[in-house]
Each structure stands twice: as structure tokens, then as C-alpha cells.
Chain A
């Protein structure tokens, strides 16, 4: 069995192909990068439309298969930017209909988490999911991902992106902030640290970091202080959630999971709570098509499929609203 997955929730238009064992046969993407400012939903959608066919043929070539060898079409149905989501949904519907194979609507967050579980071979982990749009601490209980903590305002990745734009760094800002932080010569500047139970808030931290910049503190030092503060907050709520849920495995996924300092902190937290820590491979930390394909495979194996009439994009589809039939 071969499943093709389409990702189009935000910047990335990606197509991945997996086989019955979850092995990735192809993973191709085109990433929209705004000229200035943040992501523009309509421009992102136009980008995805422009690249869809090229990405598809590249993916098929990479997997060395033809159209008619595909047994199912998965697509990320939400959450995400409505115009971008619709491009993926339309593309998926047409492919599934013309090939006469099942259509599989996938929740983008679940896809990130399940791909991370696949790579880390974690059985029953506490999951830290950190990206441009999501900041969630969750674990699977009774066939649902239950959310133990999340951001109360903006996502961690979004906060890093917004800071990067303020500092005139090109998108994506996270990796550049990580590099700059390593070059900081002097110490730490105190910044707002906002933890509420297992929830977090980042907007105060963002505002204060911008202020430091405008006061002439070097970008390296602000990047360093910003990272140390934000990641300490994540580490703290992670430790609280580990203690509360008693999980013995900890995994991290999403775009920010590529950050080495963050992983170092989470590794320490895991050791403190006698848990095993693992991270999704850097290459698959961000949005990609293969995670959608893999989730489609899990759905198909569980006997699920999505009727065309139920395949509308769901821009605000919550992680904890998704039934997980393969979950304990």
C-alpha cells in the first residue's frame, strides 16, 4: 500500500509518499517566503497553487512510482490558514476522485505528533509540540490527545518569527536567532517570564525583547536572553506535565524542535523526571507532506476515510477534537 499526503496549512506546500510500513518514499516541498512582513494568506495560497503540480511530479519521481500505484490521498484538513488549506483540499479531492482511491482528511497537529512517535519509536509519550501556529503539551488518553498546557496568546514559533522580523532577519527567524544567541558575549537580560499552571504566554516577552533592541542592546544578547527565557518556560511546564501525567517518555516536535538549546533543556528535564527524551529528526521537525501521508496510512488502516462532502477545510480544528482510533 502506498499513500500520498499533501500539506498546505501555512508556508509549506509539501507532498510526501509512504509505504505500508510508514517508510518514506518521497518528501518534497516548496516553501513560500514573504518578501517582507509575515505570511500573507492569499499569497501563500497562490504560491501553493503555482507549485502544486511541480511538487507532485517531483514526489512521484522521487518515489519512483506512477499515479496509479497510489492507494490513498491524504491532506491536511486543518488547522491552518483558510486560503492555503483550501488549495490542498481541492488538489486532494481532484486527485482522489480521478484516481478512484480513498480521500483521507488529516489533522495537521496529530500528523506532526504521530510522525514524531514513528521516528522516536515512543510508545506512550508526553508530547511537546512547538511550531509557528501551535504550542501544546499533550498526551494520548482514551483515544484523544488531551491538552495539559498551551499558549494563552501567541505560539512560541510565531513569537520567534515576529521578533526576527523586528530585527530584520529573514524568514524563518528561529534558526537565525539560535545562531545569534550562540555569539552573545555578555550576560542575560531579565525578561518577562509568564507561566500560568501548565499554560504559557509569550506576548509580554516579545514586547520586552523588542524594547531591549530599541534601547541598543546587541541583537546577539537579546536573542540569547529571549531564547533562555522562552525555553525555560517551556522546560518548566514540561516538567510539571511530566510529574502530573507520570509519563516516562518525552518527545518534542514542530518547527522549533530543531533548536539545539531547547532540546538540551528538555533532555535535562527528562532526566530529572526519569523519562526518556527523544526529538523528531531535524529534517522532519517542520511542516512536511510525509507526516500527512503517514497519518493517512494510520487512518486507512483503522478503516477510516473522508467523504467528499466532509472534506471541507477546517481552519480551527483543535487537536483535542480528533478521535484517535489507534490510540490506547
Chain B
């Protein structure tokens, strides 16, 4: 019994039953465009990262699906099914106060990950689910890192800011301000340092002319 839930960019998700629990099987498909040895390495590496990070994020107090099973050979993990909707689709229909509350909560959760010395690595509103009782679930940890480096925290927030700017351009400032508020409330004194990093990263990304050696 297996029903295709979604076919994302790197993985296919199947709805299954894991010993009586509704579960999701996430299978990282081989990518025919890249060399087999590079492909195998990346798929295995990301499966490991995701499995470890799902558990680590939960320990830091961020809601993630419970990990049920890992099958490295097949680049597959089985995890708890979350009955929820992606934040991406929710944003346009939210009222201003709801939006602020939601993104404040997202900021707090990101700060908790960082305090636990990890990054998510791919923070977009497609990778955040609004689950039962308004819990914000973080998914897709394939690019997560174990790190205590301010630069990496800055990159994490930069990616979220970029996602808001491109996907939710009408509300992005509102959303990002709320993220910053939630983040600093949880992360504490060093949050300004992280925000400065975000600015530095952004100014680096701005048109880069050829460099002279």
C-alpha cells in the first residue's frame, strides 16, 4: 500500500503505513544528469544528514516528523506523516497579525536550531509545514549542517529572507521582520552579529565583477 504524495525536486514522497502509523517514505531518486559516483555520494550523504537532523532538531525543541527508519542503500527514510499544509500556500490568505505570529514562531524555531549548533540549510516556505494545533514543522533537512559558525547561521537566515523576497514579495518585509523579532528573542545577545552577517552575505552576492588577481 503506497500512494505517491508528492514528487519534489530531489525526492519522491509516498504515503504508507508503518506498523499502524501513517508514514511518509522519502526516496531520493538517482539524478540522471550527474555522474553515478557523484550521485550516489550526494544521495547517501543527504539521507544521513536528514536522518540525523530530524532527531537533533526535535531535541532542540523544533517540531519535525519522527524518524522511523533509514535505508541508506536505497537513499530512503521513513518518517511520521504530518497532516498539515505548506506555509508557502498559507501566507497569501493570512491576516497581518496571523502572519506576524507565524513568522515570529518560525524565527524562534530557527534560533533554537542554531542554539543547538545546527543549520537547516534550505529554509524556504515550501519546507515548513503548519501541522496540527498550529505547530510549525520543519522538513527537508538534506542540506543541514552541524555548526557553531555565525557565518553559517547568517546563510541560513539569508536563504529564508531570499525565499520570502522571491516567493512572497508583497509581504516579505513584514514576514522577515517578524522572523528577526522571534529569532533575537530566542537567540539572545549574539543575534545582531548574525543579522550583520546576513547583510554581509547579501552585499557579497550583489553583482560581482571579475576579480583581478
Contact = CB atoms under 8 A, between A and B. Distances in A.
Contact of A188 (B37, B124, B126): B37
Interface in A231-277: 232, 235-236, 239-240, 242-244, 264-266, 268-269, 272-273
Nearest to B42: A193
A240 B8 CA distance: 8
A162 interface: yes
A158 B213 CA distance: 12
B210 A150 contact: no
Contact of A240 (B9, B42, B166, B170): B9
Contacts, number: 134
A239 B165 CA distance: 20
Contacts of B205: 150-152, 199
Contact of A193 (B38, B204, B212): B38
B9 A10 contact: no
Interface residues of B, number: 39
A42 to B, nearest CB: 11
Contact of B209 (A10, A37, A236): A10
B159 A196 contact: yes
A197 B121 contact: yes
Nearest to B7: A243
16 contacts: A37-B212, A80-B209, A81-B209, A141-B166, A147-B166, A153-B208, A155-B208, A162-B211, A188-B35, A228-B38, A232-B38, A235-B33, A235-B34, A269-B33, A272-B32, A320-B165
Interface of A: 10, 37-40, 78-81, 132-134, 141-142, 144, 146-155, 158, 161-162, 165, 187-188, 190, 193, 195-199, 228-229, 232, 235-236, 239-240, 242-244, 264-266, 268-269, 272-273, 315-318, 320
